[in-house]
Amino acid sequence: MKKTSTHLADGRELIYYDLRDDTARTATDRRPLDAVATTAEIRRDPLLGDSVAIASHRQGRTYHPPADQCPLCPSTPERPTEIPDTSYDVVVFENRFPSLAGDAGRCEVVCFTSDHTASFRDLTDEQAALVLEAWTDRTAELSHLPSVQQVFCFENRGAEIGVTLGHPHGQIYAYPFVTPRTALALRSLAAHKAATGGRNLFDDVLADERAGPRVVLDTEHWLAFVPYAAHWPYEAHLYPKRRVADLPGLDAAARAEFPGVYLELLKRFDRLFDQDGTPTPYIAAWHQAPFAPLDAYDGVVRDDFALHLELFTIRRTSGKLKFLAGSESGMSVFINDVPPEAAAERLREVTS
């Protein structure tokens, strides 16, 4: 992998990740861009104790442009885009319309491929491995920013999810706080450690799931399963079998096996609703340990956390979506229409 860092016309950082070490990146951004101006701020809810990002400038972000106006495609002599070069393998750049900025964190865009019509599932193993390298490198680099306490790499796919750009891409959020979802897991981790004389909750969950009926893929270095209390109709969690706190902690063997496992999992999600004729909308979310001190979680150290990816779709059956209505949105109590055991069986069935 070759990494080349440069800047766009408005000062935002852009990084090329190339498969070939001899690739030269000398193109410059020719657009007359003004400096990025944001209104991003973090407000803490005194009742719930969580944080909300207020970012009114995002109302003006690019919204469903036609394919020939996509800002994530490579530049051409006639139409410069967010990526100055005429081709690329993987690119990461600072979001022009960030939800988090400055002391309130940082937001980046990850373009998985220059092919506008592709999806992550269409990548080769080599391309998917390069995306993994980009996620890993950005996690390590963003951890050094003074305001950053947690790094979140994720992909939204599908208009049903709310995606506004059709090009295959994901995002990275560097939060200036520990997210509520992670804080809940850390509290459960601490309680389990205290109640079991030091046992690790993630290790115990993984052992239980591996022995149960909800396994989807079980390889030498990775385990994918539908969790016992799945929130979503079709939801799979992917764990490395050797517990590590974050993406930089993965060893060479797990890295080498990841592309094949993850691409197979994505393909199975698409096959769930083949009769619809449209790709399955999904969210893919990497859960990593925070970089913040964990003093608030008695007895928990950073290495107790287990890196894992959660993949889920809001489609519950062909032509029907799972909406977050009263119980889910009002009280955070999910109601799942698909038994996790049935979802796992279906995901095992939909092989190529």
With 90 as the cut, is the pLDDT of residue 312 above it? yes
Predicted local distance difference test score (pLDDT) of residue 56: 84
Which pLDDT value is given to residue 218?
Answer: 98
Rounded Cα–Cα distance for residues 216 and 219 (Å): 10
For 126-140, what is the mean pLDDT? 98
- Asked whether residue 225 carries a pLDDT value surpassing 70, the answer given is yes
Q: Is 57 a catalytic residue?
A: no
Active-site entry in 64, 144, 167, 169? 169
Predicted TM-score (pTM) of this structure: 0.96
3-state SS, one letter per residue, for the chain: CEEEEEECCCCCEEEEEECCCCCCCCCCCCCCCCCCCCCCEEEECCCCCCEEEECHHHHHCCCCCCHHHCCCCECCCCCCCCECCCCCCEEEEECCCCCCCHHHCEEEEEECCCCCCCCHHHCCHHHHHHHHHHHHHHHHHHCCCCCCCEEEEEEEECHHHCCCCCCCEEEEEEECCCCHHHHHHHHHHHHHHHHCCCCCHHHHHHHHHHCCCCEEEECCCEEEECCCCCCCCEEEEEEECCCCCCHHHCCHHHHHHHHHHHHHHHHHHHHCCHHHCCCCCEEEEEECCCCCCCCCCCCCCHHHCCCEEEEEECEEECCEECCCCHHHHHHCCCCCCCCHHHHHHHHHHCCC
Rounded to the nearest integer, the mean pLDDT of the chain is 95
Indicate if the pLDDT at residue 59 is higher than 90. Answer: no
* Residue 190 clears pLDDT 90, i.e. is over it: yes
Instruction: Check whether 216 has a pLDDT greater than 90.
Output: yes
What pLDDT is recorded for position 352? 59
Q: Are strands 320-321 and 308-313 parallel, antiparallel or unpaired?
A: unpaired
Could you tell me if 38 and 103 are in contact, meaning their C-beta atoms sit under 8 angstroms apart? no
State the average pLDDT over residues 185-196.
98
Per-residue confidence (pLDDT) for residue 63, from 0 to 100: 72
The residue with greater pLDDT, 38 or 344, is 344
